[in-house]
Structure 1
Amino acid sequence: MDEQVYCGFCGQELTAHDLAGCVGARRAAMEPPRYCAHCARRMVVQVTPTGWSARCSRHGEVASG
């Protein structure tokens, strides 16, 4: 798969934003990504008591664990 280009939590290009200052990246340990890291499309996210899954219509699914 292609290299990660977008932040999975705020959708901004990685080259144009400071990941240390990204509010979404700081929540990364607790929440699933909301945007695809490859195309910045909004993903369909499902959270369960045991984890989460996030699906991009073009790049497939990622899951916790």
Structure 2
Amino acid sequence: MTPYCDHCGRPAHEGEHAGCRAARAMEPPRYCPHCCRRMVVQVTPTGWSARCAEHGTLSG
């Protein structure tokens, strides 16, 4: 598991993240799972991309 929740930004091992996992089924990540920085997210008709200044780009 990643150190941070990519939906709410809190540490992944603290608290319940069932709501975050449910939201992530329909939404792109908002926080970098490695460093908890807010990412720049772009949603297109065919998918999404999310960019962390430190760790690069994720896509889906």
Q: TM-score, normalised by structure 2?
A: 0.90
Give me the whole-angstrom Cα distance separating, in 1, the residues matched to 2:39 and 2:23. Answer: 17
Q: In structure 2, which of residues 12, 16, 32 is the aligned counterpart of residue 14 of structure 1?
A: 12
Displacement over 2 Å in runs of 4+: none
- Aligned sequence identity (%): 55
5+ residue gaps, structure 2, are none
Q: CA RMSD in A?
A: 1.2
Give the structure 1 partner of residue 34 of structure 2: 38
Give the structure 1 partner of residue 48 of structure 2: 52
Deviation string, structure 1 residues 6-62 (Cα, Å, up to 9, x no partner): 000000101112122xx3321111110000000110000000000000000001110
Give the structure 1 partner of residue 25 of structure 2: 29
Matched residue count: 60
Q: TM-score, normalised by structure 1?
A: 0.84
5+ residue gaps, structure 1, are none
